[in-house]
Amino acid sequence: MMKKHTSPPFPQALHGKKGINASEILEVLSKGLNVNKKAFLTEQVSAIIQCKSPLKYKDPGCPTISVMIGGKVVEKALLDLGASVNLPYSVYKQLGLGELKPTSITLSLADRSVKIPRGIIEDVLVQVDNFYYPVDFVVLDTDPF
């Protein structure tokens, strides 16, 4: 509980008094007012009042995992929760994943370029630890790294 000593506003302290002299005015102004109030603050406001700054963490980098596709280990595969995963054509050839299906997909990339995939390959089993996941790959003519 916080105790705060504040002076009341001048007209409010003297309201209703008649025949006020200078000593009474000085007494009211110097005595002040005791107020007991609780203030509930959020963590952010409390941190600002206490001059605490939040902890700074290092950049964790790219979220990558090691996976196995077609019996071959792929190190540092980008962890992606999307509906399909882009795969460079050169990596596709190394993995020997079968024939590509034609597709009418066009991809608009972040640099505003447009890529037309060579094709797609569906339901490729990707092993992560002891679990197998069917993944759809969109095969592109891009550099692997």
Least Cα distance to 97 among 76, 66, 80, 118 occurs for 118
Q: How does pLDDT run along the chain (145 residues), one tens digit per residue?
A: 556 656 556 556 556 666 667 677 677 667 665 666 777 767 667 666 677 677 788 888 888 888 898 888 888 888 776 666 888 898 899 888 889 999 998 988 889 999 899 999 999 999 998 999 898 999 998 776 5
CB 138 within 8 A of CB 87: yes
Q: Which domains does the chain have, with CATH numbers?
A: 2-49 (no CATH), 64-140 (2.40.70.10)
